[in-house]
């Protein structure tokens, strides 16, 4: 982190939406606020804390602006600082949606809010409690001195009397910003790994966003319906950004990277696309579901998504399977993340226990596991370098080759996800955040250090 008094800040109204736990309604309320102020002609920039693909899709549609991740561990303080500063130059309002509970994780949502001086609003599902909601909110607000809490948003509030009990129990320093009635028509649709992808229910979401705007307007407590106080956002010292940009600007110059993107593969950070293009790459997209030929490319990226929901269609698209198999045989670079790795295996068994042949460029089988799964922040340790990312999956793989190593967990000494490299293929359950190490990312897509691993696997330490 670098801040200097010589660099003038840009001030912008900002609010950080947090909660005591998951499933309190943060995404619904953040989306409602984004659309409310967007409808007023304001430019609203929304950020999501931590690794997440589905919430940003929802929030981008609600705000009609791109949504990126802010995570101190995954991206670094300078990266987060720069993103907020850049957004503040154009936005009328910055909203940040937290992850899990307010103090969960290391770093937590509270850590991020405290670092950049963004006031927090506590979203709480108050169904089944009244004064206790005030007690919990007061405890959260006073848990740390470096965190500013602007008030409580009482979600799923049953009646005005219910709201009055909460309002009267709150201290003057912690106002009730909004009392939002129970309305299942506002709740965002979900599936086994979280929210349904926005492009699958785009029209339905539009109806829900506009209904959510009216939902916000109905509250007797109007604290959310005016812009919050402005927060000064400081630029990162130019030397930090310039040195990195100059060092990486041409690493992928002249290279074309083809990215799988459709209903089966959509877990793609906007920040990753920007990272590739900033390094000089040309990015093209293709659909393993619908296309029968690959676009010309020097490297492929098979990101995560929901291949298990489209396993039959992926399997039936034999021309595409053969095209990717042929590409693999050339030794050119392929990055397969989570769902992309499942697609790379010999076969995949879906949630209905139906088994379908997949690419077969990585030995093994994938099987869905229903509700049990793995998640967490990890660092990919490979010959190209270390790249930070995360795991979140409800499947398992079996009969795979020996990994070249394992992810290094953020806080736990146990080995993380297995990482495989052969020919030009790098495959793992881990989703990578490219800006965490641009040079290593470039080497990955250039195929550097991979060819020596084919048939001569080198084991890497997972506890380095």
Catalytic residues: 338
Query: 421 - beta bridge partners?
Result: 426
Contact indicator for 407, 391 with CB cutoff of 8 Å? yes
**DSSP class of residue 143?**
S
Rounded Cα–Cα distance for residues 250 and 203 (Å): 40
Residue 275 has a CB neighbour count (10 Å cut-off) of 21
Q: Considering just the CA atoms, what is the radius of gyration of the chain in Å?
A: 23
Which residue has tokens 């897509």? 445
Q: State how far the alpha carbon of 455 is from the alpha carbons of 22, 38, 406, 424, in Å.
A: 45, 55, 18, 12
Task: Find the DSSP H helices in 180-269.
Answer: 202-217, 238-248
Q: How many degrees, rounded to 5, is the angle at CA 380 between CA 377 and CA 383?
A: 170
Count of alpha carbons within 13 Å of 176, Cβ hemisphere only? Answer: 25
Could you tell me which of 342, 369, 352 has the C-alpha nearest to residue 427?
342
Query: Is the alpha carbon torsion for 310, 61, 109, 172 positive or negative?
Result: negative
Rounded Cα–Cα distance for residues 66 and 272 (Å): 13
Could you tell me which of 292, 214, 268 has the C-alpha nearest to residue 432?
268
Rounded Cα–Cα distance for residues 323 and 290 (Å): 13
| DSSP character string of 272-332 | HHHHHHHTT-EEEEE-TTT-SSPPS-SEEEE-EE-GGGSHHHHHH-HHHHHHHHHHHHTT-
Residues 6+ apart with CB under 8 A from 140: 20, 102, 103, 122, 149
Could you tell me which of 225, 226, 119 has the C-alpha nearest to residue 180?
225
Q: How many degrees, rounded to 5, is the angle at CA 385 between CA 383 and CA 391?
A: 100
Residue 398 has a CB neighbour count (10 Å cut-off) of 9
């Amino acid at each position: 982190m670098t801040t200097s008094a010589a660099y003038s800040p840009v001030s912008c109204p900002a609010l950080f939406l947090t909660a005591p736990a998951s499933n309190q309604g943060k995404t619904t309320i953040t989306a409602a606020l984004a659309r409310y102020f967007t409808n007023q002609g304001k430019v609203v920039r929304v950020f999501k804390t931590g690794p997440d693909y589905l919430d940003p899709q929802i929030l981008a549609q609600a705000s009609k602006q791109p949504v990126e991740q802010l995570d101190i561990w995954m991206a670094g303080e300078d990266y987060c600082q720069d993103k907020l500063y850049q957004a503040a130059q154009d936005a009328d309002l910055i909203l940040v949606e937290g992850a899990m509970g307010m103090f969960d994780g290391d770093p937590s949502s509270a850590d991020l809010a405290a670092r950049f001086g963004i006031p927090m609003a506590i979203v709480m599902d108050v169904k089944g409690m009244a004064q206790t909601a005030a007690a919990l909110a007061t405890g959260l607000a006073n848990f740390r001195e470096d965190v500013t809490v602007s008030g409580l948003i009482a979600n799923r509030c049953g009646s005005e009397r219910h709201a009055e009990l909460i309002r009267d129990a709150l201290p003057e320093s912690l106002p009730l910003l909004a009392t939002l009635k129970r309305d299942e028509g506002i709740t965002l649709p979900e599936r086994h790994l979280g929210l349904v992808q926005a492009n699958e229910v785009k029209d339905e979401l539009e109806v829900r966003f506009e209904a959510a705007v009216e939902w916000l307007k109905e509250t007797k407590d109007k604290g959310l319906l005016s812009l919050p106080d402005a927060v000064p956002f400081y630029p990162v010292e130019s030397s930090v950004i310039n040195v990195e940009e100059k060092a990486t600007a041409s690493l992928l110059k002249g290279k074309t990277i083809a990215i799988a993107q459709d209903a089966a593969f959509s877990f793609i950070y906007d920040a990753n696309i920007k990272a590739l293009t900033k390094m000089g790459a040309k990015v093209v997209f293709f659909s393993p579901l619908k296309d029968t030929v690959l676009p010309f490319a020097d490297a492929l990226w098979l990101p995560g998504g929901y291949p298990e929901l489209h396993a039959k269609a992926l399997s039936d698209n034999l021309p595409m399977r053969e095209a990717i198999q042929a590409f693999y045989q050339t030794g050119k670079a392929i990055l397969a993340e989570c769902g992309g790795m499942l697609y790379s295996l010999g076969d995949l068994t879906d949630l209905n226990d139906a088994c379908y042949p997949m690419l077969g460029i990585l030995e093994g089988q994938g099987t869905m596991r229903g509700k049990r799964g793995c998640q967490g922040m990890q660092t990919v340790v490979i010959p190209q370098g270390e790249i930070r990312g995360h795991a979140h999956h409800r499947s398992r793989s079996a009969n795979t080759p020996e990994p070249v190593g394992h992810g290094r967990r953020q806080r736990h000494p146990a080995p993380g996800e297995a990482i495989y490299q052969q020919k030009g293929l790098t495959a793992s359950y881990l989703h990578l955040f490219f800006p965490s190490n641009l040079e290593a990312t470039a080497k990955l897509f250039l195929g550097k250090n991979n060819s020596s691993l084919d048939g001569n696997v080198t084991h890497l330490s997972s506890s380095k």
